[in-house]
Amino acid sequence: MDKVYLSYNTIVSAYGLDSASAISQIKQGVSSLKLTDDKNILPNPFYTSRLEDDIIEKAFAQLGPSEKMTQLEQLMAISLSKTIKASDIELNERVGLIISTTKGNIDTLESGNSFSKERAYLSVLGKKLTYFFGFQNDALVLSNACVSGVLAIAIAKRFVEQGKYDHVFVVGGDLVTQFILSGFNAFQALSDEICRPYCKTRTGINIGEVAASAFVTKDVQRLSEEAVEILGEASRNDANHISGPSRTGEGLHRSIQAALAQADLTPDAIDYVSGHGTATLFNDEMEAIAFNRSGLQDTPLNSLKGYFGHTLGASGLLETIIGMHSLHQNILFSNLGFQELGVSEPLNIIQKTTPTTLKTFLKTASGFGGCNTAAIFKKVN
């Protein structure tokens, strides 16, 4: 079976309009989360990471669009255009597109929005991006809560392995909207500080927005410097609760086990873990239990939520891309803001950005409805 790789990538975030800008700021320990007071979205001030409207509009205008696009579509198009250009391939019938999002164009349902309500349908989002870039196959839209980004990479890998496509582009994104913030606020899960995953003094979650894209291929001639091989991936659902994770970490543990088996690796072969780490009480505790059950309690672990906040359907893809660069640069990025372990099981939290030799990493994600996904990546160059 052909090896499958994750290659060219673009992160569009408050840090800048490319992956290098984000990596540079993360290495310096700079968070993109800012205190925001926007009563059109939430009555009280909140920490979030958002792009300025004029920056989005200017960057999108350079693409020469022929029709009006929503803000999310613009963000995804900006990111995807850069990744397509870097890959330098023709978008023929052997090229697929996967879109990862939790809520898509949910903001078109809000009062005062100029787009039709039908624009909120995920299928319409898929059609708009397919048409904009000229893909010859319909886009697959994955909306499986917060595991969507990692799952999109996994599905792209399977498509290439099975011969459905030679190459697949994956793009993920979600916006900071009134609908999303009000939902997490109703759970009393929003933090009034920058989030601190796995930390005893954490006070909750922050929500951020990005668009991220990557190129999945079997063509070894089209690999970026930071390209990784996708060794194994798996998804399991513990069906515990609509919003609460399994108290035993069952689904995540089984995902990790299955991904390790597919990769033909043991836990001690994993150099570091990029966790989900939302900085909420039940999620962090569940992950700690799952990692211990999986024999990963001593493996260096971080969550990147302190840099971007939780970017929902984009988070898994975004954090995988950062993991790729972490391997390439042989550096472990700190779990920003961590002070003292706040879970019942031991974890090896990365407290300081540290140079070290790296070869493999595990990316995990968990989400509403009990969904869990794990993927293992290996450095190529």
H or E element at residue 320 = helix 315-329
pLDDT band at 112 (very low <50, low <70, confident <90, very high): confident
Asked if the model's pLDDT at residue 65 lies above 80, the reply is: no
Let me know if the fold of 5-217 is the same as that of 228-379.
yes
Greatest mean pLDDT among 3-17, 64-78, 110-124, 233-247 lies in 3-17
Closest CA to 213 of 149, 148, 135: 149
CA distance 216 to 222: 10
CA distance 262 to 157: 13
Buried b vs exposed e over 165-177: b needs ≥16 C-beta within 10 Å? bbbbbbbbbbbbb
Asked if residues 337 and 346 have their Cβ atoms less than 8 Å apart, the reply is no
The beta strands (E) that lie in the chain are given as: 5-12, 34-36, 46-49, 95-100, 140-142, 167-174, 207-208, 210-217, 228-237, 272-274, 300-302, 331-332, 348-349, 354-355, 360-367, 371-379
Asked if residues 59 and 78 have their Cβ atoms less than 8 Å apart, the reply is yes
Domain range annotation of the chain: 5-217, 228-379
Selecting from 3.30.200.20, 3.40.50.300, 3.40.47.10, 3.30.565.10, what CATH number does the domain 5-217 have?
3.40.47.10
CATH number for the segment(s) 228-379 = 3.40.47.10
pLDDT for 110: 87
**What are the pLDDT digits (tens) for 157-180?**
999 999 999 999 999 999 999 999
**What are the pLDDT digits (tens) for 35-58?**
999 888 898 899 999 999 999 999
Asked if residues 150 and 375 have their Cβ atoms less than 8 Å apart, the reply is yes
pLDDT for 365: 98
In the block, which residue shows the tokens 């509403």?
A: 368
